[in-house]
Amino acid sequence: MTFHLVRVRSEVHSVHRRHFLGTLAASGVLPRTALSQQAPDVLTAATHRQQILPAGYPETTLWSFDAAFPGRPLRARQGDRLALDVVNDLPQPTAVHWHGLRLDNAMDGVPYLTQAPIQPGETFTYEFDLPDAGTYWYHSHAQSMEQVERGLYGPLIIDEINPPDVDQDLTLVLDDIRLNQDGTIGEFGNFHDLSHAGRIGNLWLANGQIDPAYPIKRGERIRLRLISAANSRIFTLGLAGLEGWIVALDGMPLADPQELPDQITLAPAQRMDLIVDVTTDDDEAFLITFERDGGYAIAHFPVSGAPSPKRAKPDALPANPDFPIDLQNARAATLLIEGGAMGGMRAASVDGEQLGARDLAQRGLFWALNGTAGRPEDPLLDLKLGESVRIGMANDTAFPHAMHLHGVHFAEVLPDGSLGPLRDTILLNPQETREIAFQAHNPGDWLFHCHMLAHHQAGMGTWIRVSA
């Protein structure tokens, strides 16, 4: 363990002791929900009150699924079919997106692209096959900057037919929520959030709680599924007291598990599956979020049991169905990301009309993709089923963006021409250029947008058509 982490560890101790003493009710593991063919299960979106701030502060009024925040884990087995009636008891229309699933386009949950929004009082039945195992999540895709922040999200876990042998399988949905001292969430869509880094929170949450505790034992091997449900924050995370490997990114297994580095980056909507061994001699281990002024516990793990060394590297998770990318014959496209504060965007087209920066700002639009703000009438690309494509993306802005493509997983084309791991969300730092490639194996109209939800709302969204 490096000196830096040791130093951070002691800060972590003092921070959580100081701020959260007496509020550390152990919440245990998220319950496993069996969900299979027998379903039509019901998921109700409604207003719900929950204690988010430390004890002694007021409760928070959230919008959540089934009166739980995060929504209950939906769990099924690879090859199953998921069937869910989503009931909308919210004061706004909604729709549910199953983030990262390569599913039937009509079930993708994007208002006005794949379905009409579910009006208050209405029900919509989602039903689709689950070809891929892995760690996914579900969240509202209507007014998502507001609805996801208010709590409309939950984990979606698809178990492998032969899952790896572990002692615990823990899911941690990470978030940063912006709350006032009186427990209220406050307003949405101020121009600063829309035109800068998005809505950044002031509290870190794991599974809806401040620094929850998950008891572990030395010698245990744990699968840790990290999901970022944050609106805009890019988490830099580390583990103290646990050592292991990254085995999957955005649900997709790595062909070769990668030794866990001291710091890992989790952009909004990204997931990471870890397999870790409990090796510490201390009585607590931590999941740390690194901030400018040091590391803070976002979750902790009380440790018991006899000392035990790190075990051998785990096997790779079983691969999901493969849709090989034909880079030689791939169609080439480009995506220019412009706008935001301190950017140079002078004008952009909106619904076919060219508008200057002032008029755009008046409409709450601050970002453009290939010169268009907001989802254009025509797709960025109209691809033939089975065709391969490569998209060079240039981030000509002063902010990072987490670009997410629905319906397929893409690979990054690395500088040496090889393909990186499959992902559904890729982070582009300011002024960075990255290229992705994929095979258009899934027919339909697929959204392609920034998952910094304020950026999406303020114009960073386009779409791709795959024609059968």
Rounded to whole angstroms, the Cα distance separating 339 from 396 reads: 8
Q: Which of 452, 453, 464, 466 binds Cu ion (CB under 5 A)?
A: 452
Q: Which of 299, 449, 455, 460 binds ligand C2O (CB under 6 A)?
A: 449
Q: Which residue's beta carbon is nearest to the bound ligand C2O?
A: 99
Q: Mask 38-57, x = binds ligand C2O (CB under 6 A)?
A: --------------------
Strand partners, 367: 339
Q: Mask 406-425, x = binds ligand C2O (CB under 6 A)?
A: x-------------------
Question: Toward ligand C2O, which CB reaches closer, 9 or 449?
Answer: 449
SS (H, E, C) the chain: CCHHHHHHHHHHHHHHHHHHCCCCCCCCCCCCCCCCCCCCEEEEEEEEEECCCCCCCCCEEEEEECCECCCCCEEEECCCEEEEEEEECCCCCECEEEECCCCCHHHCCCECCCECCECCCCEEEEEEECCCCEEEEEEECCCHHHHHHCCCEEEEEEECCCCCCCCEEEEEEEEEECCCCCCCCCCCCCHHHHHCCCCCCCEEEECCECCCECCEECCCEEEEEEEECCCCCCEEEEEECEEEEEEEECCEEEEEEEECCCCEEECCCCEEEEEEEECCCCCEEEEEEEECCEEEEEEEEEEECCCCCCCCCCCCCCCCCCCCCCCCCCEEEEEEEEECCCCCCCEEEECCEEEEHHHHHHCCCCEEECCECCCCCCCCEEEECCCEEEEEEEEECCCCEEEEECCCCEEEECCCCCEEEEECEEEECCCCEEEEEEECCCCEEEEEEECCHHHHHCCCEEEEEEEC
Supply φ then ψ for residue 334, to 5 degrees. Answer: -130, 155
Asked if residue 267 binds ligand C2O (CB under 6 A), the reply is no
Asked if residue 401 binds ligand C2O (CB under 6 A), the reply is no
Report what 269 binds from Cu ion, ligand C2O, none; CB cut-off 5-8 Å by kind: ligand C2O
Assess contact for 204 and 256: CB atoms under 8 A: no
Question: Toward ligand C2O, which CB reaches closer, 141 or 300?
Answer: 141
Report what 75 binds from Cu ion, ligand C2O, none; CB cut-off 5-8 Å by kind: none
In the complex, least distance from residue 207 CB atom to ligand C2O, rounded to whole angstroms: 18
Q: Pick the piece of the chain touching Cu ion (CB under 5 A) from 31-39, 204-212, 441-449, 454-462.
A: 454-462
In the complex, least distance from residue 142 CB atom to ligand C2O, rounded to whole angstroms: 11
In the complex, least distance from residue 58 CB atom to ligand C2O, rounded to whole angstroms: 30
Asked if residue 375 binds ligand C2O (CB under 6 A), the reply is no
Q: Which of 9, 16, 390, 401 binds Cu ion (CB under 5 A)?
A: 401
Asked if residue 455 binds Cu ion (CB under 5 A), the reply is yes
In the complex, least distance from residue 333 CB atom to ligand C2O, rounded to whole angstroms: 19
Q: Which of 74, 248, 350, 450 binds Cu ion (CB under 5 A)?
A: 450
Report what 452 binds from ligand C2O, Cu ion, none; CB cut-off 5-8 Å by kind: Cu ion
Asked if residue 97 binds ligand C2O (CB under 6 A), the reply is yes
Q: Pick the piece of the chain touching ligand C2O (CB under 6 A) from 39-47, 123-131, 428-436, 447-455.
A: 447-455
Token pair, residue 145, equals 């900057």
Asked if residue 205 binds ligand C2O (CB under 6 A), the reply is no
Question: Toward Cu ion, which CB reaches closer, 155 or 268?
Answer: 268
Asked if residue 141 binds ligand C2O (CB under 6 A), the reply is yes
Rounded to whole angstroms, the Cα distance separating 85 from 41 reads: 6
Q: Pick the piece of the chain touching ligand C2O (CB under 6 A) from 175-183, 291-299, 372-380, 446-454.
A: 446-454
Measuring CA to CA, which residue among 6, 21, 70 is closest to residue 286? Answer: 6
Question: Toward ligand C2O, which CB reaches closer, 156 or 216?
Answer: 156
Asked if residue 453 binds Cu ion (CB under 5 A), the reply is no
Q: Which of 196, 218, 401, 404 binds ligand C2O (CB under 6 A)?
A: 404
In the complex, least distance from residue 95 CB atom to Cu ion, rounded to whole angstroms: 21
Token pair, residue 313, equals 């590297």
In the complex, least distance from residue 198 CB atom to ligand C2O, rounded to whole angstroms: 14
Asked if residue 269 binds ligand C2O (CB under 6 A), the reply is yes
Assess contact for 452 and 401: CB atoms under 8 A: yes
Q: Which residues make up the interface to Cu ion (CB under 5 A)?
A: 401, 450, 452, 455
Q: Which residues make up the interface to ligand C2O (CB under 6 A)?
A: 97, 99, 139, 141, 269, 404, 406, 447, 449, 451
